Structure 1
Amino acid sequence: MSPLRFPTCPRRALVVALGAALTACSSAPAYRPPSVDVPAHYAGAGTGTEATPATSWTAAAPAADAPRGAWWRVFGDTQLNALEARVDVSNQSVRKALADLDAARAMTDFQRAGLLPTLTAGAAQSRYRTSANKQGASLAGKTVPDYAIGATATWEPDVFGRLRDEVDSARANAQASAADLEAVRLAVTAQLAADYFDLRSLDAQKRLLDDSVRGYASALRIVQNQQRNGAIDASAVAQAQTQLDSTRTQARDIDVNRAQLEHAIATLTGEPASNFSLPPAPADYRVPAIPAGLPSQLMERRPDIAAAQRRVAAANAEIGAARAAFFPNLVLSASAGLESSFFAPWLSAPSLFWSLGPQLVGTLFDGGKRSATLRAKTAQYDGTVAQYRQTVLGAFEQVENQLSALQALADESATQQRAAQAAQQALSLTTRRYDAGAVSYLDVVTSQTIALTNERDAVVIEGRRMAACVRLIEALGGTWDAPESKNE
């Protein structure tokens, strides 16, 4: 279809097109964040957290790309701080999410460029010959050279908002990718902290077992001497040997589990497991008070909720683009250049050619493609809304799980500490009775086993409390108004 020419009024056509573009309206439905049921307070807020009084619900404004902050500093562990600092630099999952964000932002720039004119230019030289047997042709049987240079400008005024809706969709997807990046950072740093505290828990258990092995080895030598002197029979020696070897086996099993956690930490920090080592160190269990805040604040803190909400906005804008496909497209085009059959007069005024005009093109029949596309985009929007609401429900579930876990583990820690103290006292009394000949060595072995088991259980519970703290921070979105740690 050849463009209409308006050689006498190019400015008027341009003014009309600019006015149409500036007054373009979006075809997308008015966007509102999906509604969700938000409780007034957390059911599990209590022991181990700062409960916040319930207030009226406020509309959430997710901070899609807000940094989660160095939340791990609340634990005051310098080794953990050093490991976490390596995540942004070396972790490959974070680098992948960062690359995805760069790609999404580039797509936004690509869509935004569609609002601007496109300018092309070119030069060509050719020779052609018309058949000598072609009747009525003035150039029949002649070879004609052709020299041409020209430029063409095209612009599609966004009259019905299709291009703007595509830009809005790309921008919302870029914001979702920014939130995805923060979600990956939060997940990686939380996993690193959880693995770190699990490793320190194993270090504490290993020290208990190593101390027990040394004590049991010393006890075995004593009962062996007593057997040689005829004071006891071989059963006491067998019991002591069994206890020693069993404890050595447990200590060796700790080494296996610790190595696996060490390798996992190496991967999270972006270093080959073969090149990484983390020396044993005492476990410093300081469970911080974590303010859970209001459930409505969770929707502002969680990066995955922010990402889901921005994807709903992107799907809403895509509905607008699908609706705009039912309207015709207006394209303005202009071209100008020089063309001649001889090179000598190429730059003279008679060689000039130009054209200017609008083109209005619309689809009259497509077999229902546009209707199907609109239905698909509407269904995709409904799916993103459902995914958003499911993400919110899952976030509340995670917070409640960790709040309940912290409360239960706090109670378990208190009772287990008392049990460990009682078992240690029972061991001391049984040992005295054995020295006095009132009980057999089997009673001593039993008391030692009970004492060691209770001490290990106490250490395990404290490690679980630290891991639950990490998971609660992750469930809350990795940030809250908490005082800065003294150990920076």
Structure 2
Amino acid sequence: MSLSTCPNRVLLIGALCLGGCVRLGPNFQPQREPWVEHWNSPALDQAVETRSQPDIRQWWRVFADPTLEGLMAEADAHNASLQVAGLRVMEARAQLGIAQSGRYPQVQIASADVLYRDRKVTTPEAPQTSSFWQYSAGFDIGWEVDFWGRFSRAIESADAAWLAAKANYEDALVLLHAQLAQSYFALRTAEARLHIARDNARLQKRSYEITERLFKSGETDELDVQQAKTQYVSTLSSIPDLESQIMRSRNALAVLIGHTPGNRAELPDLTEKEGVVPLVDRAVLQDVPANLLLRRPDIRAAEQKIAAQSALIGVAQADLYPSLTLLGSIGWSAGSLAGIPNGLSVIGGPSLRWNVFDHGAIKNNVRVQDARLQQLIVVYRDDVRQAAREADDAASDLNKSLEREALLRDAKQAAKRSLTLANALYREGYSDFQRVLDAQRALATQEDAYLVNRSNAVSDVIALYKALGGGWYSDQPLIDPASRKQMQKRTDWGQLLDEPASSSANASSPLQR
């Protein structure tokens, strides 16, 4: 059928097809767990003090540590895992662009040919030679009408995958900030324990030297000397392990902020709060509502994966029905040989294709997509439960660490007093040296236990904010400048690389699609 003769009829057919388009497959239903609306951890209600809390997007400011804040900024700018997560967002955005191209004609081919023909024919009369040029040009177009929603569902799926990639980027921020804070305070804890070990080693060395002098003067026996030496050397033996922990923590921090491990010159100055482990109180438990569970980036990513898979069911179901494609072609041809006419042709019309005998392949593909959807729904529900468990565990552990803090502080003070009394009794001759050694050992143990418990409380705070999805904010772009420069040099990215980071969104905004 020629478009030049029946344009109105073709347009009418196209309008009828477009007007009757439907979208097969289920529409995405936002996931909601009814129990989340009423769930709350009892441990989160035990705040006994009210004070202003930092933005949960940058929860590490609760520690008021400028060094930690500087490391966070370095990690946001240079961490490799975060950079990969940002690049995956760009990949998903490009995939969305591929899906969106389905709105336009799928076939758009322009062609041109120039042929030269030289023909020689030998006959009894005389050889004949003919040569001529032949020219042709054409443009073909094919547009499959989205009658069953195949392309719109594909766009819906790609859009949800893009949102999931952005949520995964924010989840990478959550994990990065929590890991960096844990490594930072592991460093501070090891430094503080090293100070305690060295202080106790100096104290025990003095006792060892005193007992050695008394033994040489005949005022005590060798047993006191060997016991004092044993305790002193045992404390010294713990120092190399603590120094090794400090080095490992420094290397971990270097990798997290994108610097070379083992090169102290590349690390920021960490001496300002060396050996300082902050004291945590229950005030940090306030203002961390349980409804933040659904704000967790990994929970939102799991929901967007459900949305993407739900749309793929519609894409699979569209294969069960015929596809209607509007075809058109314009062609021109000419030649240099006399008698060959120049021609212009315009052809157009619909094309119907239907895979009738698929032997159940299409139906089973629909079932495959549906099974995958149900898997993601189950995973989502389990992820929400796991998030609630992590939040409750972290809050409970924090409360117990704070309970132990008061007890261990009293025990440490008692150990100091016991050592003072043991030394006095030993000098006055009312007790043997063993009681001094026992008091020294008890003091070292209690000081270390008190410090470790303070460190555990800090770790519990970090785990609590991580469980609630805190720390998803960064003022850095999705793509770091160096990667952006490399990619723009290789490929035309248009405006895609200028997309702002999704983490800068308002933290109080509701979950939206």
Please give the TM-score of this superposition, normalised by the length of structure 1. Answer: 0.86
Residue 386, structure 1, aligned to residue 369, structure 2? no
How much has 1:88 moved relative to structure 2?
A: 2.1
How much has 1:144 moved relative to structure 2?
A: 6.3
CA separation of 1:462 and 1:89: change in aligned 2, threshold 3 A: same
**Equivalent residue runs for 1:61-460 within 5 Å:** 69-117=57-105, 118-127=107-116, 145-276=133-264, 277=267, 278-279=270-271, 281-287=274-280, 289-291=284-286, 293-299=288-294, 301-342=295-336, 350-460=342-452
* Contact map agreement 2:192 2:277 (CA 8 A) in 1: no
* Contact map agreement 1:195 1:265 (CA 8 A) in 2: yes
Tell me the distance in 2 between the aligned counterparts of 1:470 and 1:216: 36
CA separation of 1:202 and 1:159: change in aligned 2, threshold 3 A: same
How much has 1:352 moved relative to structure 2?
A: 1.8
How much has 1:23 moved relative to structure 2?
A: 5.0
Tell me the distance in 2 between the aligned counterparts of 1:130 and 1:9: 41
Deviations 1:192-219 (A, max 9, x none): 1011112111111111111111122222
Which residue is equivalent to 1:30? 27
Which residue is equivalent to 2:464? 472
CA separation of 1:177 and 1:46: change in aligned 2, threshold 3 A: closer
Please give the TM-score of this superposition, normalised by the length of structure 2. Answer: 0.82
How much has 1:263 moved relative to structure 2?
A: 1.3
CA separation of 1:146 and 1:439: change in aligned 2, threshold 3 A: same
Gaps of 5+ in 1: 53-66, 133-140, 483-488
CA separation of 1:70 and 1:156: change in aligned 2, threshold 3 A: same
CA separation of 1:142 and 1:21: change in aligned 2, threshold 3 A: farther
* Contact map agreement 2:279 2:454 (CA 8 A) in 1: no
Deviations 1:86-106 (A, max 9, x none): 122211111111111111111
Equivalent residue letter for 1:282 = G
* Contact map agreement 2:177 2:471 (CA 8 A) in 1: no
Say what the alpha-carbon RMSD is for the aligned residues: 2.9
Which residue is equivalent to 2:493? none
How much has 1:120 moved relative to structure 2?
A: 2.3
Equivalent residue letter for 1:20 = C
How much has 1:479 moved relative to structure 2?
A: 5.6
Specify the SS of the correspondent of 2:392: helix
How much has 1:399 moved relative to structure 2?
A: 0.4
Which residue is equivalent to 1:138? none
* Contact map agreement 1:47 1:407 (CA 8 A) in 2: no
Tell me the distance in 2 between the aligned counterparts of 1:423 and 1:201: 21
Residue 20, structure 1, aligned to residue 17, structure 2? yes
Equivalent residue letter for 1:31 = F
Tell me the distance in 1 between the aligned counterparts of 2:22 and 2:352: 18
Specify the SS of the correspondent of 1:26: coil
How much has 1:355 moved relative to structure 2?
A: 1.3
* Contact map agreement 1:219 1:240 (CA 8 A) in 2: yes
Equivalent residue letter for 1:457 = A
How much has 1:275 moved relative to structure 2?
A: 1.8
How much has 1:38 moved relative to structure 2?
A: 1.9
Tell me the distance in 1 between the aligned counterparts of 2:90 and 2:337: 48
Paired positions, count: 456
Deviations 1:316-341 (A, max 9, x none): 10111111111111111222132112
* Contact map agreement 1:7 1:356 (CA 8 A) in 2: no
* Contact map agreement 1:47 1:406 (CA 8 A) in 2: no
Equivalent residue letter for 1:256 = S
* Contact map agreement 1:27 1:320 (CA 8 A) in 2: yes
**Which runs of structure 1 show a deviation greater than 4 angstroms over 4 or more consecutive aligned residues?**
46-52, 127-132, 141-145, 277-280, 343-346, 479-482
CA separation of 1:441 and 1:183: change in aligned 2, threshold 3 A: same
* Contact map agreement 2:292 2:469 (CA 8 A) in 1: no
Specify the SS of the correspondent of 1:420: helix
Tell me the distance in 2 between the aligned counterparts of 1:345 and 1:291: 93
